[in-house]
Structure 1
Amino acid sequence: MSAQVNRFNDIIRKLRKQLFGKGPDRLETVFMQNMAVTTLYGNLTPTEKFISGTNEGKEMIHTARTRLIQEVYAKSPPEGLEEVVGAKFVYLFSDIKVEEDIAVSVFVFDRPIV
């Protein structure tokens, strides 16, 4: 894994830990063209795992996690993110599969990542 990917993953992990009280256990990021696609494994806190035992709980966790992360990025990207990739952050598309505890985020930048 490149140093650039490691730095990118560290920024994402740190933000998720600040927002949710727990960062992902493992991240895999691929840079392609003007995007960074990150798969995040092991995201849920013990409390969220308990709540996800019902359909209503799964939906609540899904909604809370996807909306919160999208709102945070809509306000401004995390510190250092744009510097790591050498491009301006434009959009974030994010979703989580609560049952599998896997999330995917697609970061779109204004130019190809170098």
Structure 2
Amino acid sequence: MKKEVAFNDIIRKVRKDTFGKGPERIHTTFVENMAITRMYGNFTPTEKFIAQTAEGKKMVHSARTHMIKELYKDQVPEGLEELCGSKLVHLFTDIKVDEDVAISVFMFEKNIV
């Protein structure tokens, strides 16, 4: 199995377990010590409903970005560091609510081989 596919499977499972729905499409590219992951079709029907107002969009954006950051800060998902052969040191993540597209940049200690 390609490393990207295995990485995507871990990320999808984390998001499904956390939010009740994983991304419909996910694509990861490894560059030096980073894994750049793009995710499409992230929101649950409830989140889509809440995001119909400006205040709701802020709530959904905040929940999605802060929860993921906290989750990874508390515990790196099982198998992620082993797969990449390095310790995860930073996670940068954002989501565009209107487009339902998210991006996460995982920064590891060493280059991913």
TM-score (norm 2): 0.98
The whole-number CA distance in structure 2 between the counterparts of 1:24 and 1:86 is 25
Partner of 1:41: 40
Moved over 3 A (4+): none
> In structure 2, what is the equivalent of residue 14 of structure 1?
13
- Counterpart of 2:71 in structure 1: which amino acid? V
Identity level (%): 59
Matching of residue 68 in structure 1 with residue 64 in structure 2: no
What stretches of structure 1 of length at least 5 have no aligned partner? none
Aligned to 1:29: 28
- 1-structure distance, mates of 2:47, 2:74: 25
- Between the aligned partners of 1:76 and 1:108, the Cα distance in structure 2 is 15
The answer for unaligned runs of 5 or more in structure 2 is: none
In 1: Cα distance, 2:58 partner to 2:91 partner: 21
Instruction: Tell me how far apart the structure 2 counterparts of residues 112 and 39 of structure 1 sit (CA, whole Å).
Output: 20
AA aligned opposite 1:27: I
1:31-84: CA deviations, max 9, x gaps?
001000000000000111111100000000000110000001111210000111
Separation of aligned partners in 1, 2:110 and 2:89: 10
**Quick one: distance in 2 between partners of 1:26 and 1:17?**
13
The one-letter code of the counterpart of 2:6 is R
Q: CA deviation at 1:3?
A: 1.0
